[in-house]
Amino acid sequence: MKALLALEDGRTFSCRSFTGPGEAQGEVVFNTSMTGYQEILTDPSYYGQMVTMTYPLIGNYGVCPEDVESDRIHVAAFIVKEYQEFPSNFRSKGTLADYLIKSHVLGIEDLDTRALTRHIRKSGAMRAMISTTDLDPESLVARASQIPSMEGSDLVGHVTTKKPYFWKYNQPDYVDAKSLEAPFIWRHKGKKHSVVALDFGIKYNIIRCLEDAGCEVLVVPAKTNAQAIKRLNPDGIFLSNGPGDPEPLTYIVETIRELLEHFPMFGICLGMQLLGLAMGGKTMKIKFGHRGGNQPVKNMDTGKVEITSQNHGFAVDLNTLDKNKCHLTHINLNEDSLEGLKNDSIRAFAVQYHPEASPGPHDAAYLFNQFAKVMENAKA
Ligand SMILES: NC(=O)CC[C@H](N)C(=O)O
């Protein structure tokens, strides 16, 4: 079925929908991972974005129920060069097209995704619309330029969990918020590190990695306040990844500020940006973002280079951090941007990239053990 992709700056791409009729809107961004499309589709950090894959053939290994990073698809639309409708994979339980259709997410193909990517690299991530019904370029471009901008909106509210949950049998085990008021909520206190994970759009594999590092994780809604978290008395606090602009999330920054110095803290991606804001820094939008599984990052403490998985369009502005309080631990080798920070005196550290991979390389998995070590030292 014929479709049209229109960017707010007037560029259009005619294409084809492989998921039937529909319309979609959002910020269009590109991802350079060769595999892992299902993890990307279900990563809550993509809420409000239409993702184009630079790898030219997508769909060839189908979809598997275990390969999700949350309970649903979050991308606003999926843009590929060529969709492969006959998967070949013993784990596959269905096709990518059916998976998208079931969630009413538009998938398009048959456009020059290299040209689209080069355009975004040159002009920056931008708002766009896709339609199978409105094929008039002028009208669709005009509609694309009216989509609300990502900057200044709170997108975390759309993806955070409504109820707290523990992690059991590889899935969320929801509990009543009231039950957390009981004095003995931690089931493995003394044997495992108890961690409260503030959920801004957490990826499941982060919870798995924390559990593998010896933690018992309680995931709580983003609006949980500092008093309630203090009452839970965890060994450490985890600040999750999540969608959109960190700056409007003032209620979360306030919570983090109240918890700093009281508990060891570890943040990933949006979690690092919010920690940076809580420490008095500022964040900014970067031109087209880092999304993929091959971003080189240098660990400034060891001198080692890690190949990392990334997905972000905002960053902490290096120049706004107090360098006496904040130690810069990781730098991106493609463009010298800040990838990690720590403050030993308050036992907090964070990275801008994704040590949990899913998809991507596992070079940075050591960070979960580092968090366990910080919690262990805090108890000693
Ligand atoms: N993966 C994330 O947590 C993304 C963080 C933030 N939404 C950004 O785009 O920069």
184 has pLDDT over 80: no
Look over the chain and give the mean of its residue pLDDT values, rounded to a whole number: 96
Q: Residue 36: which CATH number?
A: 3.50.30.20
Q: Are residues 135 and 197 in the same domain?
A: no
336 by Cβ neighbours in 10 Å (0-12 / 13-18 / 19+) ranks as exposed
Give me the pLDDT at residue 272, please.
98
Confidence of residue 182 (pLDDT cuts 50, 70, 90): confident
Question: pLDDT tens-digit profile of 45-66?
Answer: 999 999 999 999 999 999 999 9
Q: Are residues 139 and 275 in the same domain?
A: no
- Domain assignment of residue 108, yes or no: yes
| Site residues for ligand 1, CB cut-off 6 Å | 45, 241-244, 269-270, 311-314
Domain boundary among 104, 122, 144: 144
Q: Are residues 190 and 117 in the same domain?
A: no
Contact 95, 60 (CB under 8 A): no
Contact partners, residue 182, CB within 8 Å, separation at least 6? none
Residue of 113, 133, 39, 94 whose CA lies nearest to 360: 39
Q: Are residues 337 and 250 in the same domain?
A: yes
Q: Are residues 140 and 208 in the same domain?
A: no
Ligand 1, atom 3, lies closest to the CA of 241
Residue of 251, 264, 258 whose CA lies nearest to 213: 264
Q: Residue 184: which CATH number?
A: 3.40.50.880
% residues pLDDT > 90 (the chain): 93
Q: Are residues 375 and 305 in the same domain?
A: yes
Shortest-distance atom of ligand 1 to CA 268: 3
Boundaries of domain holding 114 = 2-144
Q: Are residues 246 and 337 in the same domain?
A: yes
DSSP letter for each residue of 196-211: EEEESS--HHHHHHHH
Give Dmax over CA atoms of the chain in angstroms: 67
- Domain assignment of residue 150, yes or no: no
Instruction: For residue 177, give both structure tokens.
Output: 């918020």
- Domain assignment of residue 149, yes or no: no
- CA 318 / ligand 1 centre spacing (Å): 17
Q: How far apart are CA 350 and CA 157, in angstroms?
A: 22
Structural domain count of the chain: 2
Q: Which amino acid is at 226?
A: A
Domain boundary among 84, 111, 144: 144
Catalytic site residue 354? yes
Q: Are residues 59 and 177 in the same domain?
A: no
Give me the pLDDT at residue 372, please.
98
Question: pLDDT tens-digit profile of 196-250?
Answer: 999 999 999 999 999 999 999 999 999 999 999 999 999 999 999 999 999 999 9
Domain boundary among 144, 173, 197: 144
Q: Are residues 119 and 185 in the same domain?
A: no
Q: Are residues 167 and 303 in the same domain?
A: yes
Contact partners, residue 373, CB within 8 Å, separation at least 6? none
Contact 314, 245 (CB under 8 A): yes
**Which residue spans within the chain are E strands per DSSP?**
2-7, 12-17, 23-31, 49-53, 57-58, 77-79, 82-83, 106-109, 126-131, 165-168, 171-174, 193-199, 215-221, 236-239, 265-268, 283-299, 305-316, 327-332, 338-343, 348-351
Contact 198, 228 (CB under 8 A): no
Q: How far apart are CA 7 and CA 28, in angstroms?
A: 8
Confidence of residue 181 (pLDDT cuts 50, 70, 90): confident
Q: Are residues 355 and 273 in the same domain?
A: yes
Q: Are residues 82 and 7 in the same domain?
A: yes
Which one of the listed residues 269, 306, 326, 330 is annotated catalytic?
269
- Our mutation pick for probing the ligand 1 site, out of 70, 74, 273, 285, counting the most ligand atoms within 8 A of Cβ, is 273
